[in-house]
Amino acid sequence: MKNHSTQIARLMPIWAALLSCLMFLSTPSHAFEKAFTQAELQEQLNKQTLKFEHPLIQVTITDPVIHLFDDTQKLQLSGNVDMNLLGSYSGKGSLTITGKPVYKTDSTSFYLEDPDIIALHVAEMNPDQVDAVRLTLNQALKQWLKSVPIYTLKDKTLQEKMAKSTLESVSIRNKSLVLDFSLL
């Protein structure tokens, strides 16, 4: 009996340490985040031309400008647009889109949820044509962005491999796009 209680007494510090570790590891304070400022995102966008291609619609956005909004958790993307719709409407102008950035762990991809064209100006079109084009383009954009991610994490770099296994969510805070990770 004494031998059994001695063994338990020796194991108590080990159990206490294990319990402390489990409590320590299970607290949300061990999540970490990476924030990308609006300026950092803009710097990356400056290197790109954005293209939206649908069987009946082609849109190219140049000189994109990004804005992040904490209150709505949405981003806004504006830029010059060159578009062709159904082969009958085409022109150049400007476009502003809003949407909520989301991350889906099952596909390890980023999507733009609830995209909405809030402004469209095309010099070669009258206001009625612009309204019709905006409605059509909005519907096509919503359908397209439901199934087509804006970015998918790959296994090319160690950082992306780590992100695939630990990234939980995306939010907008302090005019920054914040990626929330979990260590467990």
Q: What's the chain's Rg over C-alpha atoms?
A: 24
Tens-digit pLDDT profile for residues 3-56: 544 444 444 445 544 444 344 344 444 568 888 889 988 888 888 778 888 777
- Which segments of the chain does DSSP mark as H helices, in order? 2-26, 38-45, 127-147, 158-166
pTM listed for this prediction: 0.72
- Given a cut of 70, whether residue 84 has pLDDT beyond it is yes
d(CA 103, CA 165): 13
**Beta-carbon contacts of residue 98 (< 8 Å; ≥ 6 apart):** 72, 74, 75, 76, 77, 115, 116, 118
pLDDT of residue 69: 94
pLDDT of residue 1: 52
d(CA 165, CA 109): 12
The percent of residues in the chain predicted with pLDDT above 70, rounded, is 83
Contact criterion met (CB below 8 Å) for 153 and 170:
no
Phi, psi of 174, deg, nearest 5: 55, 45
Domains of the chain: which residue ranges?
A: 1-30, 31-181
CATH class, 31-181 region: alpha beta
Torsion, Cα of 66, 37, 72, 114 (10° steps): 50
